[in-house]
Every structure is written in C-alpha cells, then in structure tokens.
C-alpha cells in the first residue's frame, strides 16, 4: 500500500537501524541481510539510520547488506546530520558526502537535522545546516529535508516557524509518553498538525520498555488474549491521522517477524484495547516519585533559575522507566539553567507550591540521582 504522504514510501512501518543484530561487537551481517530480505519481501521499504548508530557501523552495514544487494529505487533511505560531527558550515558538506559513501548511495530520500532541541538548534542555525540541506536538495542529493526532535512543543513550533520548508518531523511518540510532561508526545504531535507536517514516530516501544512491562501491566494486556506487547504499542502509534511512518529498531528475526505480522495490514486499537492501554499507563503513573502537577508557579521566583517541574518530571521518568533516557533529558533541562544541586534552600518554591510539596528535599533527591559527582550535603 502506498503511503498517502510520500508516494515513494510503501506502507507505514520502517526499519530503524539503531539496534541491529550483533555478533562479537560487530553487526551480524548475515542475519541483518535476512531481515532486510524479509522486510522488503513483505512490501516495506523504509530504512532509518544515522552516523552515530552503533558507532558508524549501521551505515556501513546498510551499504553491504542493502545498497549493494538491491536496486536503489527499491528502498527509501533516511540519514541524519548530528551536531557532534560538524563545528562550522564548511564541515557539513564533506561529512554529508562521506555519509553517502558509507551508505553506498548517491542520494538520501530523507535527510534529517538530528535530535533537535533548543540548544543545538542555535548551532544548526549559526552553521546554516538547514540552508545547506535545502541546497543539497536542489542538487538532487536529498529528496526531502526534515528533522528529528527531542524537546518541548514550543521549541518545535519555533523551528517549524523558522523553517517552513521542512517536509517531515520525527518525534518520540508512544502511549506511555503521550501525556508525559517531560516528553510531550501529544503536544509535539499537535504542533506538527498545526504546521501540516507529516510525522515519523520513533521509540514506539520506548526502547523496549513497553515490551518488558511491569508484572501488573503484563496482566492487563494478557487479559486481552491478543497480540504481543509490542503490537499494542505499534498499533497505538500508527492510528493517528498525521502519522506517515512508525519506525522500530529490531535486533533479531523474531522481532522482525512479530512486527511484520501485524504492521502489514495494521488495524487501529479497539475500545477494549484502548482501555487496557489506559490501565497500563496507570501502572506507570503509580510509580511516580514526586506528585508535581507542573503548574510552574515555582519557576519564576527561583533565584537560581532551576526549572523545577522539568527536573521533577525527569525524576519521575527515571523512577518509571529505569532511567531509559533520564540522564540525557536532565542535561537538556539544565543547559543554561540551574541544576538541582544549585538550590540554596531559600524556600520560595515551597511557599508558592499549591501542592505543598517539600521541594527542597525533592531537589536533593534529584541531585543525588542525576549529579553523580555533586556534593549533596
């Protein structure tokens, strides 16, 4: 079935090449080739990579297992520009040309500005990264320019307002993060709808967390007597109208076969299944460590400019999901702002908190969790 947003894409399920089958710290190219064969044979054709995936080994494996074995028009390939691989505008084109060579192709179907947030977006603007990508598109080396995103919805709105030429947006989107204050899946999706940008879903199973569920959550989904835990997560993501693609990392043939079994003719979740998903969300919410409602009354008066609700949301995510990406998000939320350990104990936050939370105590807990080398006396 042709994708309604991009005719070159078949279906709405993509092969994320960040978690590939491995053997002795190298990509198991025989198994990866078999997985590619199965994926293409079922009528899917979308592959997603980046230079940082498996320390560059993902791109090389794609060259050997995909590009060298199949005609270029038979697959859609996505690569990305990551801020760690350029310092100036002059660095971008040589790196891009290397990526083409590493992947064994003459053009990328999609090229994304990678992992955009408020801080690195300034670097991308300063180095004219977006403008360079648009120029490469005119030269035929990129078919579509987009971005992948890890920040709040207001930042995404700023980026899409600044660069309306962007054609596609990749966001973290899954049922656990849908209303999560820190990740803002729903709010970011709504920004894409506002700007009429097709959405690519990454982390639909939240790095495996929605497969390796708490026991109570497993009991809820087992009660449906239906598909795998992954199937509910992927089907949840796929049923939103602005979703052009759901990508999932698959590290063995069993995962591949399971995903292909329900994503070929993906069906929306039933009302019963949605109720079960709500129950799983409640299980995760019950693991929250800090009952902050994110009213943000505490933020403006903080003399150390600590984004207290964001840090509490990071702490709750750490508690819920065993620190899947908590350290990274804590770094984002403290970039250019106060850390939890910067608290001077003035108590202004506690005086204004409508939930009467012991904010100073919680900040010490946050600092002890995320600032390994800080002194928390």
CATH (domain of 135):
3.20.20.100
Q: Are residues 262 and 340 in the same domain?
A: no
298 lies in a domain?
Answer: no
Per residue in 181-203, pLDDT (tens digit) is 778 999 999 999 999 999 999 99
Residue ending a domain, choose from 231, 262, 279 = 279
Q: Looking at the domain assignment, is residue 291 inside a domain?
A: no
Q: Is residue 200 domain-shared with residue 241, that is, in the same domain?
A: yes
Residue 365 lies inside a defined structural domain of this protein:
yes
For 315-330, what is each residue's pLDDT tens digit?
988 888 876 677 888 9
Q: Are 192 and 313 found together in one domain?
A: no
Q: Are 103 and 58 in contact (CB under 8 A)?
A: no
CA–CA separation, 17 and 38 (whole Å): 15
pLDDT at 292: 86
Structural domain includes residue 299: no
Residues 206 and 59 in one domain: yes
SS (H, E, C) 229-244: HHHHHHHHHHCCCCEE
Question: What total of structural domains would you count in the chain?
Answer: 2
Domain co-membership, 228 together with 95: yes
In a shared domain, residues 219 and 75: yes
In angstroms, the first-to-last Cα distance of the chain is 60
| 7 belongs to a structural domain | no
Q: What is the pLDDT along the chain (377 residues), one digit of tens a residue?
A: 678 899 999 999 999 999 899 999 899 999 999 999 999 999 999 999 999 999 899 999 999 999 999 999 999 999 999 999 999 999 999 999 999 999 999 999 999 999 999 989 999 999 999 999 999 999 999 999 999 998 889 999 999 999 999 999 999 999 999 998 778 999 999 999 999 999 999 999 988 889 989 999 999 999 998 899 999 999 999 999 999 999 999 999 999 999 999 998 889 999 999 999 999 999 988 887 788 878 888 998 899 999 999 999 899 888 888 766 778 889 989 999 999 999 999 999 999 887 889 999 999 999 999 997 444 44
Tell me if 292 is assigned to some domain. Answer: no
CA count, 13 A, side-chain hemisphere, 74: 13
Q: Which pair of structure tokens corresponds to residue 21?
A: 């089958």
pLDDT of residue 1: 67
Produce one character per residue of 158-171: b if its CB has 16 or more CB atoms within 10 Å, e if not.
ebbeebeebebbbb
Provide the residue range defining the domain that includes 55. Answer: 13-279
Same domain? For 275 and 336 the reply is no
Looking at residue 88, the DSSP 8-state letter turns out to be S
């Amino acid at each position: 079935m042709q994708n309604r947003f991009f005719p070159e894409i078949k279906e709405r399920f993509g092969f994320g090449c960040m978690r590939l089958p491995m053997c002795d710290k190298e990509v198991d190219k025989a198994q990866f080739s078999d997985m590619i064969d199965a994926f293409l044979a079922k009528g899917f054709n979308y592959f997603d990579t980046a230079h940082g995936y498996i320390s560059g080994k993902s791109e090389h494996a794609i060259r050997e297992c995909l590009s060298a074995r199949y005609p270029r028009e038979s697959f859609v390939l996505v690569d990305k520009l990551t801020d760690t691989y350029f310092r100036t505008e002059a660095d971008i084109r040589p790196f891009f040309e290397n990526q083409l060579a590493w992947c064994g192709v003459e053009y990328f179907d999609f090229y994304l500005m990678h992992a955009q947030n408020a801080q690195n977006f300034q670097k991308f603007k300063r180095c004219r990264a977006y403008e360079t990508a648009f120029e490469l598109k005119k030269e035929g080396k990129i078919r579509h320019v987009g971005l992948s995103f890890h920040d709040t919805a207001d930042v995404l709105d700023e980026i899409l307002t600044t660069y309306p030429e962007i054609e596609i947006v990749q966001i973290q989107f899954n049922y656990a993060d849908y209303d999560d204050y820190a990740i803002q899946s729903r709010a970011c999706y709504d920004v894409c709808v506002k700007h009429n940008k097709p959405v690519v879903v990454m982390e639909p199973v939240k790095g495996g967390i929605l497969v390796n569920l708490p026991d109570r959550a497993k009991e809820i989904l087992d009660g449906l007597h239906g598909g795998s835990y992954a199937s509910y997560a992927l089907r949840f993501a796929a049923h939103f109208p602005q979703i052009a693609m759901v990508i999932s990392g698959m590290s063995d043939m069993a995962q591949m076969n399971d995903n292909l079994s329900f994503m070929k003719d993906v069906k929306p979740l039933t009302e019963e299944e949605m109720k079960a998903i709500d129950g799983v969300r409640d299980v995760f919410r019950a693991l929250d460590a800090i009952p902050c409602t994110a009213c943000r009354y505490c933020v403006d008066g903080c003399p150390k400019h600590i984004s207290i609700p964001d840090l509490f949301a990071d702490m709750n995510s750490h508690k819920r999901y065993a620190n899947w990406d908590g350290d990274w998000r804590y770094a984002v939320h403290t970039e250019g702002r106060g850390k939890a350990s910067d608290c001077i104990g003035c108590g202004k936050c506690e005086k204004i908190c409508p939930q009467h939370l012991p904010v100073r105590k919680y900040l010490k807990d946050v600092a002890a969790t995320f600032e390994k080398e800080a002194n928390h006396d």
